[in-house]
Structure 1
Amino acid sequence: MKLTYGFLALFLLATTVLTAQKKAITLEDIWGGTFRQERMEALQSLNNGEEYVVLNFDRSAGTSAIDAYSYKTGEKTRTILNSKDLEEIQYFSEYEFSENESKLVLGTEIESIYRHSTRGIFYVYDLQTNELKKISEEKIKEPTLSPNGEKVAYVFKNDIFVKDLSSGKVAQVTTDGEMNKIINGVADWVYEEEFSFVRAFQWNKSGDKIAFLKFDETEVPEFSMDVYGQDLYQTQTVFKYPKAGEKNSEISLHIYDLQQEEVSDVNLGDYEDFYIPRIKWTNDANVLSAQVLNRHQNVLDLIFVDAEANKAGVVLTETDEAYVDVTDNLTFLEDNSFIWTSEKDGWNHIYLYDKNGKLKNQVTRGNWEVTNYYGLDPKTKTIFYQSTENGSINRDVFSVRTNGKNKKQLTDKVGQNSADFSADFTYFINSYNSATTPYEFTLHLAKNGKLVREIVNNEELLEQMAEYEIVPKEFSTLAVNGADLNMWMIKPAGFDPAKEYPLFVSQYSGPGSQEVGNRFHSTNDYWYQMLASKGYIVVGIDPRGTGFQGAAFKKVTQKELGKYEVEDIIEAARILGSRDYIDEDNMGIWGWSYGGFMSSNAILKGNDVYKMAIAVAPVTSWRFYDSIYTERYMTTPQENPSGYDENSPINHVEKLKGDYLLIHGTGDDNVHVQNTMRMIEALVQANKQFDWAIYPDKNHGIYGGNTRMHLYTLMTNFIEENLKVNSNIKSSL
């Protein structure tokens, strides 16, 4: 027995010495770029399938170039365009080819508007004549070339324009565009945020018609934000923002005939209070597809519009008791049969329909999710996709024939595999990472996944990380409330099971999300490593309502956001607190956005479990959030008042016992600072003490300059002050 204790003492001493040789991660390391990874620049495959192009910047010369590279060798084959050869442009930061690759749209002076939208000064460059033409003297939105590159359509001041590049003639397609009233051809705020698109017009295959959406937001309530800036007086940003249960934009579909120079209105049918989240031309230049979604978002119709006869008909209807997900996966085959993805059998899978909407077959099936659809090779009738077939925390790339046969796994490393295919589906570049391996980029043959060559790895980063005290994540599942929840855990280096450690819980928990994945360190993961080095056990948990474990698991929270997932997060901490090495009286939680909503609820409803919580940019009542997102899961406040109120932290402030830190940016156009201000007032009136921080003019991401460094210093200090590390011995040797 003495020998055993002696050996253990020597082992612990050796571990301590080894640990002491390692550097602890600091916030300066995290936000100073110490752990920056090498990645591939955003690339685009050329039509020949043999080359891809990358936008490269020469920072010393202040120029930019579009360079072409060989898939097979990785060698640069040519420079398609360099801004040093252009008199009018010093550099460009965006580019887009016409479908036939005869012309380029080049973007300069780009300024952001919201999450996805921008405006800028744009040019068209003719790759055959080397001519450069400015599209407009004004900053415009979404310039898009016709398939043959002869015309360019764009939006200016909420109206659509078409410019003939040969004659220079500009046709104004719409004339009723007006700020905060009528929008033609680009999405309103809530469509951009929740349906994830900006450009709301599409050229047909022959380039003689443009389909577009019109948003009448006249009756949508306005939201205003003060912008403090640097001037003596603040200014205001005012925009239309439909909160849950409020009036949405009235949406309509139109087709512009370039030959007739006429706009026709499309009658989609007898719909009221609906969305059109996607429009897409089929391979028939006269047939347009439109997806129409009811306001509850549980019935989606795929409609085909005959543009010549101006007739519309439903070809497919997707229904769900909860909601139907909108995707970009709709793909048309040569005969206008089409690929579609659906959760109709309880898991997200790929389906093939004929051109009339009749199901030909279910292409994939099983108790796993298709997580990404990459496309279809029409020559071999092969579909390429990503899925969770090897576990919900992993991703692999597969191919399968449209008849569901000849399925192949194209990747073999366990972790996150993501593919970028050449235009002709000869090659794919695989992006791989795991919890222990930073990004690796490799080239593979699409027909069998065979490795062609390595492109980029991060071995230097691994060597650098070896100098630091980094403990691998331990992945497991935790049985909570009848469900097995995915979890990771980071323990302090030199972990001693005889000691008690404070617990710090990280989560996001939003519908369909995933916090627990076999992926390499995010910026927050380095922060968690830093906290672990200070003596905290950090865990990440995905409660019920999160994604990639089937529709039933994901949609259990329907009409009750903040009920089941909060119950899981509280019970999970209670279960973990019963472990000998976790101090059950010293547990905290944090989250951002939906995660801030959750952490707020957790310290209130779980005030006997959680001692402290940090909420960054939280929703504090779903009544304050936008219509599309909120009603997808909750229906309207008028229909479901108890679901909104019983699960909103703003209505449970009297339960606060622990230490609570509330953080928000005043320029948050997404989750408005109103959420935090109303929470503050409720806490004050309940006479509850708490801490709070406001970041002037910062948006939902709260970044810029020294902001992130300040924010994470603030949060770290709060954790150390309120979640004390001790060395109590809970069990004896």
Structure 2
Amino acid sequence: MKPTRNLFLIVCLFWAGFAFAQQKKKVSLEDVFKKNTFAQKSVSGINWMNDGQYYSALKRGIAGPMVVKMNIATGAEEAVLIDGGKLGVNFSSYEFNSDETKALLASEVESIYRRSSKAVFHVLDLQSGTVQKLLDGEKVMYATLSPDNDKVAFVKDNNLFYLTLASGKITQITTDGKWNHIINGAADWVYEEEFSMSKAFEWSPDGKQIAFIRFDETDVPEFNMQTWGKLYPQDYRFKYPKAGEKNAEVSIHVYDLGSQKTVKADVGAEKDIYLPRIYWTTESNTLAFIRLNRLQNQLDLLYANIQTGSTTLVLREESKTYIDLDYNDDLRFLAGGKGFIRTSEQDGFKHIYHHANDGKLIRQITSGNWEVSSLVGIDEKGKKIYFISTEQSPMERNLFVIGMDGKGKKLLTPEKGTHGINMSHDFKYFIANYSNAQQPLRVSLHESSGKMVKVLEDNAELQERLSGFALSGREFFQFNTVDGTALNGYMIKPADFDPAKKYPVLMYVYGGPGSQNVTNAWGGTRDFWHHHLAAEGYIVVCVDNRGTGARGRDFKHVTYANLGKYETQDQIAGAKYLGTLPYVDAARIGIWGWSYGGYMSSLSLMLGNDVFKAAIAVAPVTTWRYYDTIYTERYLQTPQINAAGYDDYSPITHVNKLKGNLLLVHGTGDDNVHFQNAVDLVDALVKADKQFETMYYPNRNHGIYGGNTTWHLYSIMTDFIKRKL
């Protein structure tokens, strides 16, 4: 073939591809935020049934919600177990008791904070079909059926109760509950947010006792958050311990239903501690619990005798930095006194360990320079453990099985991407929620060997819609930061990308400890906003800086005691790397983020004022002195110990360095990252005579949503980007 003809064909192919891209629709803001064009379908409310042949699933019928019974072998729907329309109960969640004779239905759910809620509860007798509304429809929190099937425990007005179903009798376990003073059986704000817990009570396996945590938050400082919309703004006061301030005093108690007596567990002489987990062991009369010191660098597992309250230290783990309980929250007790399984980062990567009942290490079950993301299940009869790990790639999650002896490890989900697993109680089947950067969610049923039985949802309709849009997928890349560490990133280019052109870039960041944005998984609404920006001629880039997760303890803990320093160095280095690419306009690079990402974007704009032209900071922390004890002190110690760690990398400290364009956004009703953060940054910017743009959303919380809010927010951000980049 002659060179001129070859060149002619290349040019023709380029223009044909360009014309093809032009024929397809661009992603519009309306598609993303008004039409829900890119919404995925899923299969919700899946519960495995006891006989091992069926699972139940929640679906929306014409007349209301239904729970249907699905045959595992055939994939067919065989029966309707609960029909909300016929019952007259518009429930949104359900839970069976242990022998599947009763179901607890929650309706009219009212959110309180991130994980807490109250609702109207009904108990359905599945054999007789009778429905019992609890407390005549009064909303309560955390209603939970007892293992012996005849009681329901719940929290109301900061006190713990149980109701006997047969008689309707209500027994009040605690009486000292009081708003902003004492909480029984439910977590306070900071435990709920940072230890991922809201319910703070557990039935014993025989239903004869209830263990609960009591929070005395009397001396915790109150935060006052005004709400707007009335003639006079209303005060909403709640207990929020900011870094270095007093926490709630916590204690553990066990109530015996027979004697109606409560025993207090001995948690030690030190009062300034955390008690974030309680577990009933398989041993009689023994409750286990976790104790953390204030700096969260010492974790203790203790056993409590429920008759006397005396305790025994079983296991202690210490760290020179911190122990992240949420990241290592996989404690499971084995039947027959065979000890317990737990996860730990003690060898530098999160792995699985088997301990005897007395805490002595039997063996480390997994090992290697990769992490166990989570335990899926422990098949004690088969002596196998199922777990999800990053062994294939830090950007992927796959299901593995391994013997309790640490041998015979096998990959069960070989497809590249991200797998979430729901395994049956008998370990014969699992449901996989799978996606990758090119494929939306697929829900499928598998045998425990990994063999697929049936696809339950493939989002074929979404994929068909996507085929009509001009989209480019995520391109993954790596570059080395200032210390030579390789960082992972992805970019989204315009569908009609021309390497001969120069494009502006918007970087997206979160960057907080243990987080991860650069994954081989399908994106959500925010991702499609990035596709809209790509359609408007921007390249969108995301980089996971040092301190993020899935790459081991040392990579994550490098930011300890100095949040913001290395993370911003890496985002600035990422922008400089992008500026060397021939198709990037180095003079038009911006960055945006939300929450920790808002902290990162504002700080990066100030410290990287020769690199970044613009930044959007949504609901940012602007000084860690304003954030809560558990999260902040885990990574920075207290401000009394480490004042420099709080101040040296606060955006407020660096306002004089601002040169580029800043858009600051916050909700005035943010109970998490308080509006106070934005107010103080604005004050500092004004004092420094710096111009900027700002938008506040009245009464909106940390998620800044509700009604027209999301559309309004992203419209403003899009306009800012178009004007400033």
Q: Same fold (TM over 0.5)?
A: yes
Aligned AA for 2:300? D
Write the deviation string for residues 99-123 of structure 1: whole angstroms up to 9, x where unpaired: 2322222222221111111112222
**Contact 1:224-1:239 at 8 Å conserved across structures:** yes
- Tell me, in whole angstroms, the C-alpha distance in 1 between the residues paired with 2:308 and 2:175: 25
- Alignment size in residue pairs: 717
**Contact 2:45-2:93 at 8 Å conserved across structures:** no
Percent sequence identity is: 47
Aligned AA for 2:436? S
Once the 2 structures are TM-superposed, how far is the Cα of residue 53 of structure 1 from its aligned partner? 1.4
- Tell me, in whole angstroms, the C-alpha distance in 2 between the residues paired with 1:72 and 1:666: 52
Residue in structure 1 matching 2:560, options 536, 539, 558: 558
Write the deviation string for residues 332-381 of structure 1: whole angstroms up to 9, x where unpaired: 11123111000011000011111111111111111101012111112101
2:304 aligned partner: 305
Q: 1:496 to 1:379 in 2, by over 3 A?
A: same
| Partner SS for 2:488 | strand
| Partner SS for 1:461 | helix
Matched, 1:316 2:315: yes
Aligned AA for 1:77? E
Once the 2 structures are TM-superposed, how far is the Cα of residue 705 of structure 1 from its aligned partner? 1.4
2:84 aligned partner: 83
- Where do 5+ consecutive residues of structure 2 fail to align? none
Once the 2 structures are TM-superposed, how far is the Cα of residue 496 of structure 1 from its aligned partner? 2.5
- Where do 5+ consecutive residues of structure 1 fail to align? 724-733
Summarize the alignment of residues 191-270 of structure 1 with structure 2, pairs less than 5 Å apart. Answer: 191-229=191-229, 231-270=230-269
| Partner SS for 2:246 | coil
Aligned AA for 1:474? E
Write the deviation string for residues 111-142 of structure 1: whole angstroms up to 9, x where unpaired: 11111111122222222343322321332111
Aligned AA for 2:667? G
Aligned AA for 2:445? L
**Contact 1:194-1:628 at 8 Å conserved across structures:** yes
2:109 aligned partner: 110
**Contact 1:50-1:422 at 8 Å conserved across structures:** no
| Partner SS for 2:540 | strand
Q: 1:85 to 1:522 in 2, by over 3 A?
A: closer
| Partner SS for 1:42 | strand
**Contact 1:12-1:494 at 8 Å conserved across structures:** no
2:456 aligned partner: 455
1:57 aligned partner: 60
- Tell me, in whole angstroms, the C-alpha distance in 2 between the residues paired with 1:683 and 1:672: 18
Residue in structure 1 matching 2:628, options 626, 643, 646: 626
**Contact 1:204-1:285 at 8 Å conserved across structures:** no
**Contact 1:174-1:184 at 8 Å conserved across structures:** yes
Aligned AA for 1:617? A
- Tell me, in whole angstroms, the C-alpha distance in 1 between the residues paired with 2:97 and 2:304: 25
Summarize the alignment of residues 221-620 of structure 1 with structure 2, pairs less than 5 Å apart. Answer: 221-229=221-229, 231-326=230-325, 327-336=328-337, 337-446=339-448, 448-481=449-482, 482-620=484-622
Write the deviation string for residues 357-408 of structure 1: whole angstroms up to 9, x where unpaired: 1111111111101012111112101111000111100111011111111211
Once the 2 structures are TM-superposed, how far is the Cα of residue 520 of structure 1 from its aligned partner? 1.3
Write the deviation string for residues 416-471 of structure 1: whole angstroms up to 9, x where unpaired: 1121111211100111111111111221111x211222221122222211111101
Matched, 1:159 2:159: yes
Once the 2 structures are TM-superposed, how far is the Cα of residue 96 of structure 1 from its aligned partner? 1.8
- Tell me, in whole angstroms, the C-alpha distance in 1 between the residues paired with 2:251 and 2:120: 29
Aligned AA for 1:72? A
Q: 1:637 to 1:267 in 2, by over 3 A?
A: same
1:729 aligned partner: none
Q: Give the TM-score normalised by structure 2.
A: 0.97
Aligned AA for 1:520? W
Once the 2 structures are TM-superposed, how far is the Cα of residue 644 of structure 1 from its aligned partner? 0.5
- Tell me, in whole angstroms, the C-alpha distance in 2 between the residues paired with 1:342 and 1:90: 44
Write the deviation string for residues 468-497 of structure 1: whole angstroms up to 9, x where unpaired: 110121111111122100011122233232
- Which deviates the most, 527-536 or 286-295? 527-536
2:670 aligned partner: 668
**Contact 1:205-1:285 at 8 Å conserved across structures:** no
| Partner SS for 2:336 | coil
Once the 2 structures are TM-superposed, how far is the Cα of residue 253 of structure 1 from its aligned partner? 0.6
Aligned AA for 2:264? D
**Contact 1:205-1:284 at 8 Å conserved across structures:** no
Aligned AA for 2:84? S
- Tell me, in whole angstroms, the C-alpha distance in 1 between the residues paired with 2:65 and 2:495: 46
Residue in structure 1 matching 2:43, options 30, 40, 43: 40
| Partner SS for 1:652 | helix
- Tell me, in whole angstroms, the C-alpha distance in 1 between the residues paired with 2:11 and 2:165: 80
Q: 1:622 to 1:127 in 2, by over 3 A?
A: same
**Contact 2:384-2:403 at 8 Å conserved across structures:** yes
Aligned AA for 2:537? G
- Tell me, in whole angstroms, the C-alpha distance in 1 between the residues paired with 2:396 and 2:212: 39
Write the deviation string for residues 683-706 of structure 1: whole angstroms up to 9, x where unpaired: 111110000001111111111111
Aligned AA for 2:481? V
Aligned AA for 1:429? I
| Partner SS for 1:28 | helix
1:709 aligned partner: 711
| Partner SS for 1:540 | strand
Write the deviation string for residues 3-47 of structure 1: whole angstroms up to 9, x where unpaired: 565445434322321221111100001112111112112311122
Write the deviation string for residues 479-535 of structure 1: whole angstroms up to 9, x where unpaired: 112210001112223323222211111111010011100111321221112212222
Aligned AA for 2:147? P
2:25 aligned partner: 23
Summarize the alignment of residues 629-668 of structure 1 with structure 2, pairs less than 5 Å apart. Answer: 629-668=631-670
Write the deviation string for residues 655-682 of structure 1: whole angstroms up to 9, x where unpaired: 1100000001111111111111111111
Write the deviation string for residues 551-584 of structure 1: whole angstroms up to 9, x where unpaired: 0000100011101011110111112212222111
- Tell me, in whole angstroms, the C-alpha distance in 2 between the residues paired with 1:143 and 1:303: 27
- Tell me, in whole angstroms, the C-alpha distance in 1 between the residues paired with 2:548 and 2:601: 16
**Contact 2:266-2:304 at 8 Å conserved across structures:** no
**Contact 1:110-1:121 at 8 Å conserved across structures:** yes
**Contact 1:335-1:355 at 8 Å conserved across structures:** no
Aligned AA for 1:53? S
- Tell me, in whole angstroms, the C-alpha distance in 1 between the residues paired with 2:45 and 2:75: 15
- Tell me, in whole angstroms, the C-alpha distance in 1 between the residues paired with 2:26 and 2:221: 50
Once the 2 structures are TM-superposed, how far is the Cα of residue 619 of structure 1 from its aligned partner? 0.4
**Contact 1:203-1:211 at 8 Å conserved across structures:** yes
Once the 2 structures are TM-superposed, how far is the Cα of residue 206 of structure 1 from its aligned partner? 1.1
**Contact 2:22-2:496 at 8 Å conserved across structures:** no
- Which deviates the most, 453-462 or 197-206? 453-462
| Partner SS for 2:414 | coil
**Contact 2:249-2:271 at 8 Å conserved across structures:** no
- Tell me, in whole angstroms, the C-alpha distance in 1 between the residues paired with 2:52 and 2:146: 21
- Tell me, in whole angstroms, the C-alpha distance in 2 between the residues paired with 1:408 and 1:9: 48
1:73 aligned partner: 74
- Tell me, in whole angstroms, the C-alpha distance in 2 between the residues paired with 1:494 and 1:146: 60
**Contact 2:560-2:636 at 8 Å conserved across structures:** yes
Aligned AA for 2:336? D
Once the 2 structures are TM-superposed, how far is the Cα of residue 302 of structure 1 from its aligned partner? 0.6
Once the 2 structures are TM-superposed, how far is the Cα of residue 538 of structure 1 from its aligned partner? 1.3
Q: 1:662 to 1:434 in 2, by over 3 A?
A: same
Once the 2 structures are TM-superposed, how far is the Cα of residue 221 of structure 1 from its aligned partner? 0.6
**Contact 1:45-1:51 at 8 Å conserved across structures:** yes
- Tell me, in whole angstroms, the C-alpha distance in 2 between the residues paired with 1:284 and 1:5: 78
